[in-house]
Chains A and B, each alone.
Chain A
Amino acid sequence: MTNASRTPSAESRDLYLPVMAAITDIRKMTEFETLYEITLPGGAELGHQPGQFVEVSLFGMGEAPFSVSSSPTRKGSFEMGVRRVGMLTDVMDRMQLGEKIGVRGPFGNGVPVEKFKGKDVLIVAGGIGLVPMRSMINYVLDNRGDFDRLIICYGARSDGELLFTDELKMWADDPRVEFHVTVDHGSTAWTGHTGVITTLIPGLDLDMPQTRVLVCGPPVMYRFVLLALRSKGVAEENIYMSLERRMKCGVGKCGHCQINSSYVCQDGPVYHYPDLKGLQEAL
């Protein structure tokens, strides 16, 4: 640390100014979740990695973090799956095609895709956790030769809350995808598996040293999924997890997303499980 009084700021940047981007498609997924396609000025690429997030702002409502739901292999725009839970998302819910939102990012540490190449990819997604995981799923599908098996375990509270239903059907019908879905409480029309997401794991046929796992879901889910994976014999060093926190600035300054000594917006949201083990506040 320097004791010099003067601090050259030549290399410093505007960290908090958004780029205005257009909503170019809106797809209602459930009563509460909507998928937005966002196009940056001039069709510029966002340049993200699967698992990264952006800060979205609406003037007058403020700014909040959203994970990117599309794969970087799908060019020209990006997608975000948004759950209506607060003021900002309430207003977003009423927005029309062509309207503009502020975007900063992408931020954070995404999925280390190189570690998954040549491996069996197991994705465990609970509820809205499928939104960021869809980026990785489509990344694998678009680079299918780079990966071995693609196994998806997806759980939702009810069949009415399943997200990306068109794509779920495609994944179920795709011979290159081993797709497992469950709901906690099925309606009378539901003929699939019922039970929490961990009930899908014991039945999986996994080639253990070959499998790399990526987990994302509500906070309560992680410890049970980790227990199920341990019972299955998955080594800790083969597990990656994406965590949710209040990433307010996205650039490691504001302090809101800190888990012990780690800033989720810098070190996460995707963590290697062994790195999380020293962070008591993580789960």
Chain B
Amino acid sequence: MVQYLLEDSRVVDFVSHLQACKTVYAPHRKGTSSFAFAPVDDPTAVVLDYNRTLHSVKKYFLPPTETLLSFDLRTNEFTESEIVPCDAVFLGVHSYDLRAVHKLDHNFRQENPEKNYLRRREEAAFVGVSFEPDAFHFSGSVGIGSRDSSGFDVFLTRIAAGYILTAHTPVGQELVDGFVMPEYTGDLPVPPGFKQHIYVPQDKLSEVFEHSYRNDVWLETAEKCVGCGTCNLVCPTCYCFNVEDTVEITIDGGSRARTWDGCMLRSFTEVAGGEVFREESAARQRHRVYRKFKYISDRTGEPWCVGCGRCNQACTAGISIVSIVNRLVNDYDREVVETA
């Protein structure tokens, strides 16, 4: 595969080149220390050196609020909402976020393939960029390196002079066609290491979780958790949703929308009549972590956490999924392995 050098001074031109092909979504500054994906208006506002965005690109394929249908209360009839595919380039996506998209692809394709998500998703092209792990990233522990280009159409690897650009698919080749760059023949510098790790081989995780259902960590975490659901909100692989109707002030009609929901909220399992099936916060802590490392993983053979570190960074109570998993691993080693 040919490697090109995209010099820092030409990044803006490259963004403009992509814009000439398609709509481009890329990370932008949000406030003083945060980043968010947004449609590119001004190519100079795009930020490719960032730690993580507040939300992943999931928000474009599974929008926080998505109107499913509109209804007319006078006639009791409804109109289906149009699903508009994201025929766009997603520039500056980190490896863990694309891996999260692949996991959502699985969730929305299996058993009952869902038109809403899959239609939005099918035309999207991805231009990835490598990242420098900060104090929260741990994707290396779940098999996703900071320069992992798998699944990307085009990938940019950070070096001192700019980025090494490689096109990985015909779509990616088309995106870079006509943008002249020198070939890059130098070596790749050693990637920076991760600062956070889950200390367990992936094939042992299932066993660890088999043993951890009644671990004290769930109660201890529950004591700190305020139940805000932010960890669900920022997770790139969370896809649970609620469906609710809204009526316009004219009461002539309204709409039915699905909105993101979170298993950490008490109301999540509530049924008519008031029964709540996951009443204890500790049970909800466990459910979230088991969703990421056991329930789906047992069927797919891989963790459903991509190690982006968002839940840990966003948690006002400082709850870390890495600490929880490492605690479970330590307890498992002490209680099962050492006593065997």
Closest to A252 in B: B111
Cβ–Cβ contact A256 & B118, under 8 A: no
Would you give the shortest CB distance from A219 to chain B, in whole angstroms?
6
The listed residue with most A CB atoms (<10 A of its CB), out of B71, B78, B110, B113, is: B113
- Any chain A CB within 8 A of the CB of B316? no
Q: Residue A253 at the B interface, CB < 8 A? A: yes
* Residues of chain B contacted by A102 (CB below 8 angstroms): 78
- CB of B269 within 8 A of CB of A245, answer yes
Is A5 within 8 A of B111, CB to CB? no
Q: Which of A62, A85, A251, A254 contacts B240, CB < 8 Å?
A: A254
Closest to A219 in B: B275
Q: Which of A6-14, A159-167, A221-229 contacts B (4 or more CB under 8 A)?
A: A6-14
Question: How far apart sit A60 and B257, CA to CA, in the bound complex (Å)?
Answer: 11
B154 smallest CB distance to A (angstroms): 10
Residues from chain A with Cβ under 8 Å of B119 in the complex: 9, 12
- Partner of B302 from the list A1, A99, A261 (CB cut-off 8 Å) is A1
> In the complex, what residues of A have CB within 8 A of residue B50's CB?
none
A260 and B268 CA atoms in complex are apart in Å by 14
Q: How large is the interface on B (under 10, 10 to 19, 20 to 34, 35 or more residues)?
A: 35 or more
> A169 to chain B: closest CB distance in Å?
28
- Known A12-B115, A16-B258: A256·B109 in contact at CB below 8 Å: no
Question: Shortest beta-carbon distance, A10 to chain B, in Å?
Answer: 9
Complex contacts, B269 vs chain A, CB 8 Å: 245-246, 256
Question: In the docked arrangement, what's the CA distance between A4 and B112, Å?
Answer: 20
Nearest-Cβ distance from residue B88 to partner chain A, whole angstroms? 12
Rounded to whole angstroms, the CA-CA distance of A258 and B258 in the bound complex is 18
Given the known interface contacts A2-B102, A251-B114, A254-B240, the answer about A281 and B278 at a Cβ–Cβ threshold of 8 Å is yes
- A255's partner among B102, B125, B240, B247 (CB-CB below 8 A) is B240
Known: A59-B71, A254-B261. Contact between A261 and B294, CB under 8 A? yes
A16 interface neighbour in B68, B71, B77, B296, Cβ under 8 Å? B68
**Minimal beta-carbon separation of A249 from chain B (angstroms):** 7
Known A-B contacts A2-B105, A281-B278; A60 and B116 likewise in contact (beta carbons under 8 Å): no
Q: Name the one of B102, B239, B244 contacting A253, with C-beta atoms under 8 angstroms.
A: B239
Contact in complex: A63, B243 (CB < 8 Å): yes
What chain B residues lie within 8 Å of A18 (beta carbons)?
78
A13 touches B112 (CB 8 A): yes
Cβ–Cβ < 8 Å partners of B245 in chain A: 57, 59-63
In the complex, B324 has a CB within 8 A of chain A = no
Cross-chain pair count, CB within 8 angstroms: 163
Say yes or no for A201: interface residue by CB 8 A criterion.
no
Does B108 belong to the interface (CB within 8 Å)? yes
Contact across chains for B102 and A1 when beta carbons are under 8 A apart? yes
Q: Which residue of B lies closest to A63 (CB)?
A: B243
Q: Would you give the shortest CB distance from A268 to chain B, in whole angstroms?
A: 13
| In the complex, chain B residues whose CB is within 8 Å of the CB of A2 | 102, 105
- The verdict on B283 contacting chain A, using a C-beta distance below 8 Å, is yes
User: How far apart sit A279 and B295, CA to CA, in the bound complex (Å)?
Assistant: 11
Contacts of B60 in A (CB 8 A): none
| In the complex, A248 has a CB within 8 A of chain B | yes
Among candidates B102, B239, B295, residue contacting A261 with C-beta atoms closer than 8 Å: B295
* B277 and A62 contact, CB distance less than 8 A: no
Contact for B295 among A1, A14, A88, A260, CB less than 8 A: A260
In the bound complex, how far is the Cα of B169 from the Cα of A216, in angstroms?
54
Give the contacting residue for A248; candidates B77, B242, B287, B298; CB below 8 A.
Answer: B242
Interface residues in chain A, defined as those with a beta carbon under 8 Å from any beta carbon in chain B? 1-9, 11-18, 20, 57, 59-64, 83, 85-86, 88-89, 99-100, 102, 219, 244-246, 248-249, 251-256, 258-261, 266, 280-281
Known: A16-B258, A59-B76. 20 other contacts (CB 8 A): A1-B300, A6-B122, A12-B118, A13-B115, A14-B80, A15-B112, A17-B68, A57-B245, A59-B71, A62-B244, A63-B245, A86-B272, A88-B272, A245-B271, A248-B241, A252-B111, A254-B242, A256-B261, A256-B268, A281-B283
9 nearest A-B pairs in the assembled complex, by CB-CB distance:
A255-B240, A9-B118, A59-B71, A12-B113, A261-B295, A3-B151, A86-B272, A12-B115, A251-B112
A–B complex contacts, Cβ < 8 Å, 13 sampled: A1-B105, A5-B152, A12-B118, A17-B69, A59-B256, A60-B254, A62-B245, A63-B256, A244-B275, A248-B241, A252-B111, A256-B240, A266-B111
